[in-house]
């Protein structure tokens, strides 16, 4: 739960510099930290970005005039301008944090996140905060331990950050279905065979074990698409995969994905990918 309060001891806020934590030739700092009381870490701001995740325990994150409950499997992306500290509950709080320069942050923004306000580039008063599966936290922690053993160079930093961003992005993509009812998710997963595609909407409805009007209403509420649009998206995505991974003729791919009209297939493909199936295949199979 979040409530607006004054941060602890704002009059003695400290300012940390990344250079104070780096040895010669290091470009980032990474550490596993145990917090048992509020006094373990001063209320502070800094001239660097900081990515952290909670491995164990629970507590409070005092951040920009708010207190935010934190617990195991939370990940937070602290921006250079943020002011924060932590307190813990029970047996304490174990977190891993990685600190790196604003220059690296600017590089990642221009390279990968130019048109997004997510992650370190969110504009809200509170920084980006997400809870991710324990299995993913353990993978990230394992990768962090590997980074701790090597020279803290740009190649280690960039590869580690990309590993995290890729996994977070894939996790968030999976959340696309997180609010779907229990009967819908298995139907989506099973709807991946040629015989289902050829039957179109009717076979998808059968997999849902609900009447078509009800399925259509739920799809509309969840994804802002009609049932037909939703099913077509699944079939077109499967067709796109086949265009990349195989040399099967486009006309046959269209047929196997349930499109008897090649013109209709081309139209639907253009709506989703902005180009023809042939252009898509040539682009993704081309040798450069």
What are the pLDDT digits (tens) for 40-66? 678 889 999 999 999 999 999 999 989
CATH code assigned to 2-176:
2.60.120.810
pLDDT digit string (tens) for 86-127?
988 878 899 999 999 999 999 999 999 887 788 999 888 999
- Neighbouring-strand partners of residue 101: 48
Under DSSP, the state recorded for 108 is: H
Q: What is the overall mean pLDDT for the chain?
A: 88
Averaged pLDDT, 37-42: 70
The 3-state DSSP class for residue 14 equals: strand
**pLDDT greater than 90 at residue 286:** no
Most confident of 1-15, 72-86, 115-129: 72-86
User: Token pair 């099973």 is at which residue?
Assistant: 190
The 10 Å CB-count burial string (b at 16+, else e) for 6-23 is ebbeeeeeeeeebeeebe
Nearest to 94 by CA among 31, 34, 30: 34
What residue spans of the chain are helical by DSSP H?
A: 102-112, 134-149, 154-174, 184-190, 194-199, 201-208, 212-223, 227-245, 250-256, 262-273, 277-285
pLDDT, residue 117, reads 81
Strand 74-78 relative to strand 44-46, pairing: unpaired
Q: What is the reported pLDDT for 175? A: 54
pLDDT at residue 212 greater than cutoff 80: yes
pLDDT of residue 172: 67
**pLDDT exceeds 50 at position 229:** yes
0.85 surpassed by pTM: no
From the options 2.40.50.140, 1.10.10.60, 1.25.40.390, 1.10.3720.10, give the CATH code of 184-285.
1.10.10.60
CATH 2.60.120.810 in the chain, residue ranges: 2-176
Residue 6 has pLDDT above 60, yes or no: no
| Phi, psi values for residue 30, rounded to 5° | -140, 135
- In the chain, CATH 1.10.10.60 covers 184-285
**% the chain with pLDDT above 90:** 64
Which residues does 239 contact at the CB level (< 8 Å), separation at least 6? 253, 254, 257, 259, 265, 269, 277
Q: Assess contact for 74 and 24: CB atoms under 8 A.
A: no
The Cα–Cα gap between 225 and 272 comes to 13
Mean pLDDT, range 158-185, rounded to an integer: 80
Q: Is 67 helix (H, G, I), strand (E, B) or coil?
A: strand
Average pLDDT over residues 149-162: 94
Per-residue pLDDT at 89 = 80
């Amino acid at each position: 739960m979040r409530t607006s309060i004054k941060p602890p001891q704002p009059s003695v806020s400290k300012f940390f510099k990344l250079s104070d934590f780096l040895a010669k030739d290091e470009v980032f700092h990474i550490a596993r930290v145990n917090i048992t009381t509020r006094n373990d870490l001063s209320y502070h701001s800094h001239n660097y970005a900081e990515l952290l995740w909670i491995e164990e325990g629970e507590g409070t994150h005092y951040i920009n005039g708010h207190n935010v409950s934190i617990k195991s499997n939370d990940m937070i992306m602290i921006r250079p301008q943020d002011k924060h500290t932590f307190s813990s509950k029970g047996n304490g709080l174990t977190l891993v944090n990685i600190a790196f320069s604003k220059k690296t942050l600017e590089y990642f923004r221009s390279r990968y996140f130019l048109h997004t306000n997510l992650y370190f580039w969110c504009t809200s008063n509170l920084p980006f905060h997400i809870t991710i599966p324990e299995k993913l936290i353990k993978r990230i922690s394992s990768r962090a331990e590997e980074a701790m053993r090597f020279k803290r160079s740009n190649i280690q930093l960039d590869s580690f950050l990309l590993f995290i961003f890729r996994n977070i992005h894939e996790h968030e993509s999976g959340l696309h279905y997180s609010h779907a009812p229990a009967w819908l998710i298995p139907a989506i997963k099973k709807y991946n065979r040629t015989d289902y595609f050829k039957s179109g909407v009717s076979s998808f409805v059968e997999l849902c074990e609900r009447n078509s009007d009800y399925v259509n209403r739920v799809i509309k509420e969840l994804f802002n698409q009609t049932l037909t649009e939703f099913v077509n998206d699944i079939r077109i995505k499967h067709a796109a995969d086949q265009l990349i991974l195989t040399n099967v003729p486009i006309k046959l791919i269209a047929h196997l994905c349930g499109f008897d009209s090649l013109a209709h297939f081309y139209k639907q493909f253009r709506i989703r990918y902005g180009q023809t199936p042939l252009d898509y295949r040539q682009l993704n199979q081309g040798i450069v």
